[in-house]
A and B are shown apart, each in its own frame.
Chain A
Amino acid sequence: MIKKLSSERVFVVFIFSFLLTYCIFIMTVLLADVFYVSPKRVVSTLFLSETLFAIKLSFITSIISTFFSVLFALPGAYALSRYKFPGKDIIHIIIHLPIVLPPLIMGVSLLVFFNTSIGRFLEEHGLRIVYTVPGIIVAQFIISSAFAVLVMKAAYDNIDIRYEQSARTLGCTSLQAFYKVTLPLCKGGIIAGIVLAWARAVGEFVPILIVAGAMHFKTEVLPTAIFLRLETGDIEGSVSLTIIMMVICVITLLILKRLWARQ
């Protein structure tokens, strides 16, 4: 018995040591930023008009791109989860591409696309993307929507299809069964998908830089602002913005988690 207990304890210590090492590593890296600059510098950077613009633009674009990601992911993930159709495997691969490919490739591809005849046609008819704010949204959307689809598909997969079938036999149409039964049952997974999509969107950088550029007071989101400071050698300013971005993300995630728990 004593032998058994001690071997279990060794096992628990073993697995927790990995978890703790991992957390300590991440926290050490992030805390290095905090010790690098003075709080005064962080506060002064926060209230610079350039920073406030970047925060505002980051929030607006990430919320819009998350909205579109969810708009496509909610039904798209459901189709992937519930239906068998020819080419499903190919669609699966396509959805994984923005996740597995380097963001640089997605950015270059977007830029090239808007230089093709279709892209030029869209630009000529009012959908101006390259070096504009909508370009930021498109660049965020192309990455964050893939995460939203995969997380929401996993949420739908976890819901027994017989709940929907029961709802149908009780008089629900397919659409009613979806919003009266399936959606409430996978609420947690859907919120997780929204949070992940937003987190990806707000942290996106390379495709934004390629498609929308890095123009002060025009296409400057927070990651772009950090990059611009680094480029000009303002390391302290760059680290200050990093801390500001970390704080904003942590606070937002805490608020969402709180709302989630309340649900």
Chain B
Amino acid sequence: MIAIKNLNLKVGTFELKDINLEIKKGEYFVILGPTGAGKSLILKCIAGLNKMDSGELFIDNKLSNNIPIEERDIGYVFQDSTLFPHLNVYQNITFGLRLKRMPKSLIEKKVSNICKLFGICHLLKRPVDNLSGGERQRVSLARSMICEPKAILLDEPFSSLDRNTAERLMIEIKRIHAQTRQTIIHVTHNHEEAAVLADRICILKDGSIVQVGTFNEILTKPNSEFVADFFCTHNIFSGFSVIEGNVSKIEYNGICIYSSQLRGGKVAFSIRPEDVAISLNKEKGEGINSFRGTIKEIIDRGVIIQILVDVGFPIVSYSLRSSFLAMGLKEGDSVNIYFDKNAVHII
């Protein structure tokens, strides 16, 4: 539906390098990466707000590099909403429809539908200055979606909202996307948004695509130390691997760790902290990757407690608050940690 081929663009000292992407019709695609990775620049190239130095952009299989912004039929919602301050909510929402000289009856019908979808019927007569952050973003989304564009580009739409509002809006967008199957490309640096919303994710680093896949694929099988680190894997190590039967035996710091992935030689590997179980009981958790160690550090992250255990090497485990309290763990305790061979991902 939207395809980018070999996109290159230099802006100042920053460069987008050889970007290749394909976004399917109806897909919720998230471009995820740290600040300054070039996420918004890709959106701007798709919308036509930035010209590409080289490469091709296809919208509905049509080469669109030189199509003017207004003819691309691509909606764009900015980080902090760009509702027109001289128009009220109704006039903002109908702005695109009035440009198309749509009959008034049809406009009213569309406004009614979109307002019900976003729950903003009560805001229609309000000046935009009187709206809260969440309301502004809802109206911005409605203004874009009412035009039924081929795709809507969301440029960090929740970053200027408080956490609760952002979470509510996130859930609403997920519901609306499920109902409308509107193609959406969403740019963010927040993993949680990607986890909740994305059908597929693209990880961007320094202007280059690092990995594309579903959230689960990227989380459990990062293809680089950068991706693993970006997803806060914590446990990223490197060692020497030898294939023994149906497992890889990785030697790290004089300790053997087993992985179900078969690869020999020098390898980097990661273990998700939530896959690392912890127990006081020696017997519990006996298995292929089971180690005895001492708790070095406990960090309270609210629902999740992060526990650093020294088992000859430092390994981080996430524990639910309730389990943590039930075990009564404290720094200096001797504990057993264990994880499955499938949890050891060779990068």
What count of chain B residues pass the 8 Å CB interface test? 23
Q: Tell me which of A160, A171, A184, A187 contacts B70 (CB under 8 A).
A: A171
Query: Once the chains bind, are B86 and A172 in contact (CB under 8 Å)?
Result: no
Chain A: minimal CB distance from B58 (Å): 18
Q: Tell me which of B76, B85, B86, B100 contacts A169 (CB under 8 A).
A: B76
Select from chain B the residue with minimum beta-carbon distance to A187: B86
Chain A: minimal CB distance from B305 (Å): 42
Q: Tell me which of B84, B100, B143 contacts A181 (CB under 8 A).
A: B84
Chain B: minimal CB distance from A198 (Å): 24
Query: Once the chains bind, are A185 and B85 in contact (CB under 8 Å)?
Result: yes
Chain B: minimal CB distance from A159 (Å): 10
Chain A contact surface mostly: helix
Q: List residues of chain B with CB within 8 A of the CB of A165.
A: 47, 49, 69, 76, 78, 82
Per the 8 Å Cβ criterion, residues 47-104 of B in contact with A are 47-49, 68-70, 72, 74-76, 78, 82, 84-86, 95-96, 99-100
Query: Once the chains bind, are A169 and B99 in contact (CB under 8 Å)?
Result: no
Per the 8 Å Cβ criterion, residues 61-109 of A in contact with B are none
Chain B: minimal CB distance from A227 (Å): 45
User: Cα distance A160–B149 when bound, in Å?
Assistant: 24
Q: How many A-B residue pairs have CB under 8 A?
A: 56
A173 on interface, CB distance cutoff 8 Å: yes
Q: List residues of chain A with CB within 8 A of the CB of B210.
A: none
Q: List residues of chain B with CB within 8 A of the CB of A181.
A: 84
User: Cα distance A184–B84 when bound, in Å?
Assistant: 10
B270 on interface, CB distance cutoff 8 Å: no
B144 on interface, CB distance cutoff 8 Å: yes
Chain B: minimal CB distance from A156 (Å): 15
Chain B: minimal CB distance from A184 (Å): 4
A162 on interface, CB distance cutoff 8 Å: yes
Chain B interface (Cβ < 8 Å from any Cβ of A): 47-49, 68-70, 72, 74-76, 78, 82, 84-86, 95-96, 99-100, 143-144, 147, 149
28 residue pairs A–B, Cβ–Cβ below 8 Å: A162-B78, A163-B82, A163-B84, A165-B69, A165-B78, A165-B82, A166-B76, A166-B78, A166-B82, A166-B84, A167-B84, A167-B95, A168-B48, A168-B69, A168-B70, A169-B47, A169-B49, A169-B74, A170-B75, A170-B96, A171-B96, A171-B99, A171-B100, A172-B99, A173-B68, A176-B99, A181-B84, A185-B86
